[in-house]
Structure 1
Amino acid sequence: MAIRPERIVIVGGDAAGMSAAAQLRRMRPEVEIVAFERGHHTSYALCGLPYYVAGYVDDTAQLVARTPEAHRRNGIDVRLRTEVVALDLERREVVAYDHERHREYREPFDQLVLATGARPRRLALPGRDAAGIFTLHSLEDAEALATWLQQERPRRAVVVGGGYIGIEAAEAFRARGLETTLIEAAPHVMPLLDPDMAELVEQALRADQVTVLTGTPVEAFATRNGRVTGVLTPHGEVPADVVVIGIGVEPNSDLARDAGIALGDRNAIHVDQHCRTSVPGVWAAGDCADAYHRLLGRSVYFPLGTTANKQGRICGLNLGGRPARFPGIVGTAITRFGETEIARTGLSEREARESGFSIVVGNARSTTRSGYFPGASWMTVKMVAEEGTGRLLGAQIVGGPGAGKRIDTVATALTAGMTLEEFIYLDLAYAPPFSPVWDPVVVAARKLAREV
Structure 2
Amino acid sequence: MAANGDILDCLIVGGGPAGLTTALYLARFKRQFAVVDSGTPRAAWIPTSHNIPMFAEGIAGKDILARARTNLEQYGARIQAGRVTGLRKQPDRFIAVVEGNDGSTGQVAARRVVIATGAVDIEPDLPDVPNAVQRGLVRYCPICDGYESRDRKIAVIAYGAHGIGEAVFIARTYSRDVTLLTLGQHLELDPEQQGRLDEHGIKVVEAPVESLAMENDRISAVNVAGKEYRFDVLYSALGLKYRSDLAISLGAEHDPSGSLIVDSHCQTSVKGLYAAGDIVRGIDQIVVGMSHAAVAATHIHNHCELPTEDEPGGA
Band the TM-score falls in, shorter-chain normalisation? 0.5 to 0.7
Q: How does 1:25-44 map to 2 (within 5 A)?
A: 25-27=27-29, 29=30, 31-39=31-39
How far did 1:270 drift?
1.5
Q: In structure 1, what residue type is equivalent to 2:84?
A: V
- Pair 312,63 (structure 1): closer, same or farther in 2 beyond 3 Å: closer
Q: Is the 8 A contact 1:166 1:245 kept in 2?
A: no
SS at structure 1 position matched to 2:266: coil
Cα 1:36–1:133, aligned 2, differ >3 Å: closer, same or farther? closer
Which residue in the other structure is 2:252 paired with?
A: 261
Q: 1:190 to 1:306 in 2, by over 3 A?
A: farther
Given that residues 134 and 245 in structure 1 are in contact (C-alpha distance below 8 angstroms), is that contact kept between their aligned partners in structure 2? no
1:284 to partner: Cα distance: 1.1
Q: How does 1:217-236 map to 2 (within 5 A)?
A: 217=206, 219-220=208-209, 222=211, 231=222, 233=224, 236=227
Alignment check: 8 A CA contact 1:115 1:288 kept: yes
In the other structure, the counterpart of 2:118 is 117
Pairing 1:231-310 to 2, within 5 Å after superposition: 231=222, 233=224, 236=227, 238=229, 245-264=236-255, 266-290=257-281, 301-310=282-291
DSSP 3-state at the match of 2:76: coil
The question of 1:134 aligning with 2:109 is answered no
Report the equivalent of 2:155: 182
**Kept in 2: contact 1:164–1:190 (CA 8 A):** no
Q: Report if the CA contact (8 A) 2:95-2:109 is conserved.
A: yes
Give the whole-Å Cα distance in 2 for the aligned partners of 1:238 and 1:194.
Answer: 19
CA drift of 1:135 comes to 0.8
Tell me, what secondary structure is at the counterpart of 2:296?
Answer: helix
Does structure 2 conserve the Cα–Cα contact (< 8 Å) formed by 1:92 and 1:108? Answer: yes
Aligned residue identity for 1:19: T
Deviation string, structure 1 residues 265-304 (Cα, Å, up to 9, x no partner): 63211211121112222111221012xxxxxxxxxx3222
AA of the residue aligned to 1:77: R
TM-score calculated relative to the size of structure 2:
0.64
In the alignment, residue 191 of structure 1 is paired with which amino acid? G
SS of 1:267's equivalent?
A: coil
1:35 offset after TM fit, Å?
0.5
Which protein is bigger by CA-based radius of gyration? 1
Give the Cα–Cα distance (whole angstroms) in 2 for the partners of residues 183 and 194 of structure 1.
10
Deviations 1:106-146 (A, max 9, x none): 322221110111211233x474xx3465214xxxx45xx6x
How many angstroms apart in 2 are the aligned matches of 1:285 and 1:319? 13
Checking the alignment, whether the CA contact within 8 Å between 1:94 and 1:108 is kept in structure 2 is yes
Task: Indicate the residue corresponding to 2:196 in structure 1.
Answer: none
Task: Give unmatched runs, 5+ long, in structure 2.
Answer: 51-56, 180-200, 214-218, 305-315
SS of the equivalent of 1:215 reads: strand
Structure 2 CA distance for aligned equivalents of residues 160 and 41 of structure 1: 16
Q: 1: distance between equivalents of 2:202 and 2:168?
A: 17
Report if the CA contact (8 A) 2:17-2:65 is conserved: no
Pair 183,72 (structure 1): closer, same or farther in 2 beyond 3 Å: closer
| CA apart distance, 1:321 | 0.9
Kindly indicate whether residue 80 of structure 2 is the aligned counterpart of residue 79 of structure 1.
yes
**Rounded Cα–Cα distance in structure 2 between residues aligned with 1:64 and 1:221:** 37
Pairwise CA distance, 1:168: 6.5
SS in structure 2 of the partner of residue 75 of structure 1: coil
- The 3 A distance-change label for structure 1 pair 69 and 162 is closer
Identity %: 19
1:374-404 residue CA offsets vs partner (Å, 9 max, x unmatched): xxxxxxxxxxxxxxxxxxxxxxxxxxxxxxx
Distance between the aligned counterparts of 1:163 and 1:220, measured in 2? 22
Cα pair distance change 1:162/1:58, threshold 3 Å: closer
1:104: Cα distance to partner? 3.4
1:214 maps onto 2:216 in alignment: no
1:408 alignment partner in structure 2 = none
Shift of 1:88: 2.6
The verdict on how the C-alpha distance between 1:234 and 1:96 changes in structure 2, with shifts beyond 3 A counting, is farther
- Please tell me whether residue 202 in structure 1 is matched to residue 164 in structure 2: no
Mapped to 2, the partners of 1:60 and 1:304 lie a distance apart of: 12
Partners of 1:192 and 1:244 lie apart in 2 by 9
- Asked whether the equivalents of residues 134 and 244 of structure 1 are also in contact (C-alpha less than 8 Å), the reply is no
| Paired position in structure 1 for 2:309 | none
Q: For 2:164 and 2:142, how far apart are their aligned partners in 1? A: 5
Alpha carbons 1:184, 1:216 under 8 Å: kept: no
**Gap change, CA 1:192 and 1:184, over 3 Å in 2:** closer
- TM (norm. structure 1) is 0.47
Distance 1:122 1:274 in 2: 32
CA contact (8 A) 2:222 2:229 kept: yes
Distance 1:114 1:58, change over 3 A: closer
SS in 1 for 2:204: coil
Q: Which moved more, 1:213-222 or 1:228-237?
A: 228-237
Q: Contact 1:41–1:68 at 8 Å: present in 2 too? A: no
- Give distance in 2, aligned partners of 1:191 and 1:303: 15
Q: Distance in 2 between matches of 1:166 and 1:10?
A: 29
Cα drift, residue 67 of structure 1: 4.3
CA offsets, 1:220-254, max 9 Å, x none? 55379xxx9974546845479x9764544343212
Q: 2:165: which partner in 1?
A: 191
RMSD: 4.6
- 1:105 aligns to 2:110 (yes or no): no
SS in 2 for 1:79: strand
